Amino acid sequence: MSAGGPHPPTVLGSSAHGGLAVAGHGEGGHHPRQQHHFYTMGQQLEASILGMWVFLVTEVMFFGGMFMAYIVYRTWYPTAWAASSNQLNVIMGAINTGVLICSSLTMVLAVRSAQVGSRAGQIVNLILTMMFGSTFLVVKYFEYAEKFHHGLVPGPNFNPHHVLPDGTIEHIALPLGSQLYFSLYFMMTGIHALHMIIGIGIMLVMLRWAIKGRFTPDYYNPLEVSGLYWHFVDIVWIFLFPLLYLLGYNYRG
């Protein structure tokens, strides 16, 4: 351990000069959006995309916990599962499914617009995506309200019932396990809706950037990566819809 100043750092290997010409400073300049620690824009793009995929894996595991609980309890209480699924509003669920699929289309079109350099296309499609997303949330609100009115919220107020036209209350007998179903229903769709809200927030940021002309055919990483997130949220719903809504079709209580 010698004292008196550091020695010049040695580079491993034989090339003692700077090695490859690092895209960064000087010669040709670098793209204004290239971050300092990346060698090339290509590397930056690949890193962002890999990063979003890794993040989506964590989201799969996050929802996965709830799907596991669903699988276990559905195996134990198939009748309760079917009877409870019967209580859900398939029409609203189907509308929401269609709405989300359309929103994924407009999202792709927004990314495509950036690829071909159409700022108007980006703006229109981003706004449409947000509108579809908001429609989803509005329909969800009405759905949840219906559940509240029918006493299907688990807990001390769980009291499944219809109100008949003449005002009498008709109780619905749901088997043991139904409260578990509805707990999972609210958790799964609730957390999904939360992800939608976050997605719409992200779209707002994307819209702002699109309006400012930030995305060009050679740089639209944030759009691409937000698109991946949006599609993921859509796919989760594609799983939720049949698993939650479509079980009761053959159930005759």
Partner 1 sequence: MDLLYFFIVAVCAFFAVLVVALVVFFTLKYKRQSPNEVGADIHGSLALELLWTAIPFVLSLVMFGWGAELFFKLSRPPADSMEIVVVGKQWMWKVQHPEGVREINELHVPIGVNVRISLGSEDVIHDFFMPAFRVKMDAVPGKITTLWFQATLPGVYHIFCSQYCGTKHSGMVGQVFAMQPQDYAAWLAGGRANGTPVEMGHKLFADYQCATCHKEDRTGRGPSLVGVAGSAVQLADGRTVVADDNYLRESIVNSQSKVVSGFQPIMPTFQGQISEENLMQLIAYIKSLKPAASK
Partner 2 sequence: MTPERHSYLDAPYGLKAWLLTKDHKRIAMLYLISITIFFALGGFFAAGIRLELLTPKGDLLTPDLYNKFFSMHGVIMVFFFLVPSIPATLGNFLMPIMVGAKDLAFPRINLISWYLYVIGGLIALTVLAMGGIDTGWTFYTPYSTIGSSTNVSLAIIGVFVAGFSSILTGFNFIVTVHRMRAPGMTWFRLPLFVWANYATSLVMILGTPVVAITLCMVAAERTLHLGIFDPKLGGDPVLFQHLFWFYSHPAVYIMILPGMGVMSELVAAMSRKQIFGYSFVAASSLAIAILGFLVWGHHLFVSSQSIYAGMVFSIITMLVAVPSAVKTFNWAATMYKGSVSWESPTYWVVGFMGLFLVGGLTGLFLASMGLDIHLHDTYFVVAHFHYIMVGGAIMAYMGGLHFWWPKMTGKLYNESLAKVSAILVFVGFNLTFGPQFIVGYLGMPRRYHTYPDEFQVWNVASTLGASILGMGYMLAFTYLVYSIFKGEAAPANPWGAKGLEWTTTSPPPTFNFDVDPVVDEPAYNYNPTGKGVHVG
Which does residue 79 touch among partner 1, partner 2, none (CB within 5 to 8 A, set by kind)? partner 1
Per-residue HEC secondary structure of 151-194 comes to CCCCCCCCCCEEECCCCCEEECCCCCCHHHHHHHHHHHHHHHHH
Q: In angstroms, what is the minimal distance from the CB of 74 to partner 1?
A: 13
Q: Residues interacting with partner 1, by CB under 8 A?
A: 76-77, 79, 175-177
Q: Distance between CA 187 and CA 41 in Å, rounded?
A: 40
Q: In angstroms, what is the minimal distance from the CB of 150 to partner 1?
A: 21
Which does residue 13 touch among partner 1, partner 2, none (CB within 5 to 8 A, set by kind)? partner 2
Query: Toward partner 1, which CB reaches closer, 83 or 126?
Result: 83
Q: In angstroms, what is the minimal distance from the CB of 15 to partner 2?
A: 5
Query: Toward partner 1, which CB reaches closer, 1 or 20?
Result: 1
Q: Residues interacting with partner 2, by CB under 8 A?
A: 1-3, 5-20, 22, 35-37, 43, 46-47, 50-51, 54-55, 57-59, 61-66, 68-69, 72-73, 76-77, 80, 154-156, 176-177, 179-180, 182-184, 186-187, 191
SS3 label, residue 216: strand
Q: Distance between CA 147 and CA 241 in Å, rounded?
A: 16
- What the block records as the tokens of 66 is 């709830």
Q: Give how far Cα 104 sits from Cα of 30, 59, 115, 125, 244, Å.
A: 33, 18, 17, 10, 21
Contact partners, residue 71, CB within 8 Å, separation at least 6 = none
Query: Toward partner 1, which CB reaches closer, 58 or 75?
Result: 75
Which does residue 105 touch among partner 2, partner 1, none (CB within 5 to 8 A, set by kind)? none
Q: In angstroms, what is the minimal distance from the CB of 70 to partner 1?
A: 17
Query: Toward partner 1, which CB reaches closer, 78 or 151?
Result: 78
Query: Toward partner 2, which CB reaches closer, 59 or 146?
Result: 59
CA proximity to 104, closest of 196, 186, 221 = 196
Query: Toward partner 1, which CB reaches closer, 169 or 176?
Result: 176
- CB 180, CB 81: distance < 8 Å: no
Q: Which residue stretches of the chain are H helix? A: 41-76, 78-85, 90-115, 119-149, 178-211, 221-245
Q: In angstroms, what is the minimal distance from the CB of 68 to partner 1?
A: 19
